[in-house]
Amino acid sequence: MSVNQQAHTGPPYGQPQPGYQGYQQPAYGGQSLPGAPQAQYGAYNGPMPGYQQPVPPQGYFPSLGFPSKGSPVSLNSDTSSLAPNFIGSLRAPPTSGAPPPPASGASHPSGHVAYSQFEHGDVQNGIPASAAPMQRPPASQPFLPGSAPTPVSQMSTFQQYGPPQASVQQLRNHMAGMTIGCTAASAPPPAGLGYGVGPSSYPPTTGAPRPPAMPGPPLPGQTVAGPPSSQPNHVSSPPPPSTMAGLHPGPPMSGLHGPPPPTHPPQPGYQMQQNGSFGQMRGPQPNYGGAYPGAPNYGSPPGPPPPPKRLDPDSIPSPQLNELPPQQKPRHRIDPDAIPSPIQVIEDDRNNRGSEPFVTGVRGQVPPLVTTNFLVKDQGNASPRYIRCTSYNIPCTSDMAKQSQVPLAAVIKPLATLPPEETLPYLVDHGESGPVRCNRCKAYMCPFMQFIEGGRRFQCCFCSCVTEVPPHYFQHLDHTGKRVDFYDRPELSLGSYEFLATVDYCKNNKFPSPPAFIFMIDVSYNAVKSGLVRLICEELKSLLDYLPREGNMEESAIRVGFVTYNKVLHFYNVKSSLAQPQMMVVSDVADMFVPLLDGFLVNVNESRTVITSLLDQIPEMFADTRETETVFAPVIQAGLEALKAAECAGKLFIFHTSLPIAEAPGKLKNRDDRKLINTDKEKTLFQPQTSFYNNLAKDCVAQGCCVDLFLFPNQYLDVATLGVVPYQTGGSIYKYAYFQLETDQYRFLNDLRRDVQKEVGFDAVMRVRTSTGIRATDFFGAFYMSNTTDVEMAGLDCDKTITVEFKHDDKLSEDSGALLQCALLYTSCAGQRRLRIHNLSLNCCTQLADLYRNCETDTLINYLAKYAYRGVLSSPVKTVRDALINQCAQILACYRKNCASPSSAGQLILPECMKLLPVYLNCVLKSDVLQPGPEVTTDDRAYIRQLVTSMDVAETNVFFYPRLLPLTKADVDSDSLPAAIRNSEERLSKGDIYLLENGLNIFVWVGVNVQQSLIQNLFGVSSFSQISNALSTLPVLENPFSKKVQSIVDMLQGQRSRYMKLIIVKQEDKLEMLFKHFLVEDKSLSGGASYVDFLCHMHKEIRQLLS
């Protein structure tokens, strides 16, 4: 069934259920609502001595808040809707001490709540309504559990109340069973902040458990006592349960007892997340002065309540739509603040794990999230910058792996760039004998090899074979069995290092020449007319001084060559002895050859004057061209032949503008057809239209010829076909649709500079070895494979990742764990043949709970997206989407069945470290590849598909769930970013300016009510209407706000591998539709579900699997 239309067995969203007979429905704080039948009992005042406690209703399990196993986030809902009486933490009264005014004249059907300005219903999570705009309290405000927060004078949003009256207390009792993220008491409190706080200081009440204190999300700088619930996952303690913001089915609350006390003491929980921009949320706090005016006590003390009906949440009738007051029809019954928030999880991880270095000495440690800034100390396992896994504790048997459905995969980025504070891998030179390796499986020496017989032999940690230690490598062992030179040898003490390769590791048994770069420029009519040819030639004059070089070399060893083309190819002789460059034309494109050898590839410094002269002449030579047709395949063939003739590897930089329709090999036709979308033939749109380019790619890989393609299309270009060679050679594609010099040149030049300067390994081969029990079975990324084990890339740069999936081929043992070794053989930009080695040790488990406690959702999503994006090549998109939903439902159902405490089927329980799986999965399902909107072109989809396939985890994280920052909340005096907010339109305020980035674009959204002074400071114009949508950069103005925003944009650009396009969006402008496409928690125009709807759909899928 589709995500968007749940078959509701319970009532649809926004419809509270009718009251239960004889119980009064609460409005705000327990008053009876006008029009509601008078209750036969007064307000509940707490258990009276001598009255028997009623049996808790079905779905009302007292220990739900504190499961003993598993670490669930639980969200109660019946099928795809939730119980009517879901109440988060109680909201404070609306004004400072005055009782809420009765709703004059407004009558609500029983069980309905009035909706406030916050649009979530009056009994709402978080903070009270107030006329004053919401502010975050000062970050320095200390909060100690059990003491009242210091009153903040300028804030009218925090109320003070005294001991709660009965109905409030009883609601709290209910909430006690609704905590999120209870933690195991054995977890050591880390230095940072946790989700929750220590045990609350509520006075114990008879017959009710003590509710945990529910403070707001702690702010940077605040200290929170008590064990946090999102503890580091490597602590071996029972999984921290996180029963998510209650949403319990079950009877309404007024007039009912709270659940009886749990048999074990309550543990701290984490509160429901509140959007950062709305300030902190406080649950009811003890020790506040002043009485709470909310609920007058009607009637006398209650008589003994009747035993509650055991209602099945699925069978509760719901009112018809036309019975509801108009303002309630479109409302969700699930409060978005009550479901797991990516922003909150990211913030908590930063606070808990950002301050300490991540030391890699311990096996199976889960690293901090990719969104956390942390330092890595290599002590025997590769840094998470090089390898991240979907789980750091893998099942011992294949049956257990099949049962959980959690894919076992590693995302490997072998040449990742490290921050300046971290040490690059050491280069180890073993001389002519080369690196020491296992005789049988050929694994390289690493920290996990076991030396025996006094150090004369070593036992391989991968295949257990015993190998003699070469005499030159022999060293004695100390009393613990370690070699005495353990710390002097990187390969014995570090997770990542490099070996200098011997001649045996080189092609044809001879050392390679330094690589070459060939610039190949389309000079057809479109390219010349748009100013592109002149722009490229001007830029290359200076860019050639920045070719990559080895650490301490004076100049780069890379040689360069130049070709221009339209229907024919022009080669240029730029030999240093010439006074002027010479041009040679090859018009027989059917049989491509290179007309010159000497003088085509040259050293930049030796031939500088000739090269400069050529770059000056090219735009003039073709200024009057009328040639509109282009060739493409012959251009790649020409570059390949030139590298073959020079006997070196290298990279082609091709600048291309149109579909190659000229008569030549690899000629293409326009096959764009939007009518194929959502049909079985849709997959053909992603496949190349001819196999010619696959064969060409194979030849390029064999020579080490990598292709980077810069596309400037004004219409359909067939990226799916043109991208085959860049993709299979390990290259990159950059696309600038409707290129315009004034708006796009800055972005293109930044991309070109970075692409030319970045670290690249040429002629690369990668192999992943594993210890006995698992093996690498599947690979995703930009590469070519001629066999089942070796990943071959003509070029591999510092931004590319290879994703590897593992399967069991035997049993694993908990004692020895599992090992991975990634070995990359490549030629450096100076022509040196090297081996880069990364090692990682993982734990193995026999309990599913251990698997679920050590997963990494960001890496899991990276793998699932790549798996789905490959799936669209061979299956209909709908099949791919359904398979994704089904796999995730199985992962969560297995957790629910085997790891979570027994509880009502109306609860959705998510593992603590997978609680963001539904929201992130929904983002993948709504992406342009799997669910295109009407404005997305076929080329866009093919481009995104190829791009995502080699993204790392940090890039997929921000690509699928963009970062949204309120610029108007930025502190101009600090270096920090403003706190991010969730990706939903309801989080935006008309009076603010926001920045949204997803790794490809930066949107600056300006609300219609933004203060004129802010518009003046940021855009240099005096009013909203004067802001221009055509800006591609923000004006540089001399004021603190402008400088702060500029520094934020620069910081974000610096974190991404591509220069992001800046787009100014004015509220209610036509571009706003594009912007809203990235507000991924909302329903999308192309039919994608909102986060709340999808969570309910996932819950329904899980329940079907469980039943």
3-state secondary structure 421-482: CCCCCCEECCHHHCCCECCCCCCECCCCCEEEHHHCEEECCCCCCEEECCHHHCCCECCCCC
Q: Give me the phi and psi of 210, to 5 degrees please.
A: -85, 115
- The number of C-alpha atoms within 13 Å of 878 and in the hemisphere containing its C-beta is 10
Nearest residue to 1064 via CA among 993, 990, 978, 965? 993
Per-residue pLDDT of 300-342, as tens digits, reads 344 444 333 333 333 333 333 333 344 444 444 688 889 999 9
According to the model, what pLDDT value does residue 210 have?
39
Residues 221-250 have a mean pLDDT of 40
Residues 6+ positions from 321 with CB-CB distance below 8 Å:
12, 15, 329
Lowest mean pLDDT among 17-31, 504-518, 588-602, 860-874: 17-31
Cα(422)–Cα(382) distance, rounded to whole angstroms? 13
**Better pLDDT: 149 or 874:** 874
Paired tokens of 349: 């991880």
Lowest mean pLDDT among 134-143, 639-648, 972-981: 134-143
Paired tokens of 386: 């090089």
**Better pLDDT: 207 or 898:** 898
For residues 614 and 538, is the Cβ–Cβ distance under 8 A?
no
Q: What mean pLDDT, rounded, does the chain reach? A: 79
Residues 695-708 have a mean pLDDT of 97
According to the model, what pLDDT value does residue 552 have?
79
According to the model, what pLDDT value does residue 1034 have?
95
Per-residue pLDDT of 928-939, as tens digits, reads 999 988 889 999
Per-residue pLDDT of 524-560, as tens digits, reads 999 999 999 999 999 999 999 999 998 778 899 999 9
Q: Is the predicted pLDDT of residue 182 greater than 50, yes or no?
A: no
Lowest mean pLDDT among 184-198, 331-345, 625-639, 778-792: 184-198
Radius of gyration (C-alpha) of the chain in whole angstroms: 32
Residues 158-163 have a mean pLDDT of 39
- Inter-CA distances, 1080 with 872, 962, 1094, Å: 22, 8, 12
Amino acid at position 697, single letter:
A
According to the model, what pLDDT value does residue 825 have?
98
Angle subtended at Cα 293 by Cα 290 and Cα 298, rounded to the nearest 5 degrees: 135
* Whole-structure pTM value: 0.74
According to the model, what pLDDT value does residue 559 have?
96
Q: Which residues of 1063-1080 are buried (b: 16+ CB within 10 A; e: fewer)?
A: bbbbeebeeeeebbbbbb
Angle subtended at Cα 1032 by Cα 1027 and Cα 1035, rounded to the nearest 5 degrees: 60
According to the model, what pLDDT value does residue 11 have?
39
Q: Is the predicted pLDDT of residue 220 greater than 60, yes or no?
A: no
Q: Is the predicted pLDDT of residue 72 greater than 80, yes or no?
A: no
Residues 407-425 have a mean pLDDT of 97
Cα(590)–Cα(991) distance, rounded to whole angstroms? 62
Cβ neighbour number for residue 905 with a 10 Å cutoff: 20
Provide the pLDDT confidence category of residue 408 given band limits of 50, 70 and 90: very high
Residues 581-594 have a mean pLDDT of 95
Q: Is the predicted pLDDT of residue 106 greater than 90, yes or no?
A: no
Helix axes 953-960, 917-925, angle to 10 degrees: 80
**Better pLDDT: 419 or 97:** 419
For 392-421, give the DSSP string. Answer: SEEESSHHHHHHH---EEEEE-TTPPPPTT
According to the model, what pLDDT value does residue 333 have?
67
Paired tokens of 47: 């258990």
% of residues, the chain, pLDDT over 90: 67
Paired tokens of 141: 């405000």
**Better pLDDT: 302 or 768:** 768
Residues 856-880 have a mean pLDDT of 97
Q: Is the predicted pLDDT of residue 43 greater than 90, yes or no?
A: no
According to the model, what pLDDT value does residue 926 have?
95
Residues 561-579 have a mean pLDDT of 97
Please report, in angstroms and rounded to a whole number, the separation of the first and last CA atoms in the chain: 17
According to the model, what pLDDT value does residue 121 have?
36
Lowest mean pLDDT among 113-127, 333-347, 988-1002: 113-127
According to the model, what pLDDT value does residue 74 have?
54
Per-residue pLDDT of 1006-1048, as tens digits, reads 999 999 999 999 999 999 999 999 999 999 999 999 999 999 9
3-state secondary structure of 64: helix
Q: Are strands 450-452 and 427-428 parallel, antiparallel or unpaired?
A: unpaired
Nearest residue to 450 via CA among 463, 441, 432, 440? 463
Amino acid at position 802, single letter:
I
According to the model, what pLDDT value does residue 75 have?
56
Cα(584)–Cα(1050) distance, rounded to whole angstroms? 43
According to the model, what pLDDT value does residue 206 have?
40
Provide the pLDDT confidence category of residue 901 given band limits of 50, 70 and 90: confident
Q: Is the four-CA dihedral 1062, 673, 923, 404 of positive or negative sign?
A: negative
Helix axes 692-703, 633-646, angle to 10 degrees: 20
**Better pLDDT: 734 or 229:** 734
According to the model, what pLDDT value does residue 361 have?
95
Provide the pLDDT confidence category of residue 906 given band limits of 50, 70 and 90: confident
Nearest residue to 358 via CA among 421, 310, 273? 421
According to the model, what pLDDT value does residue 581 have?
97
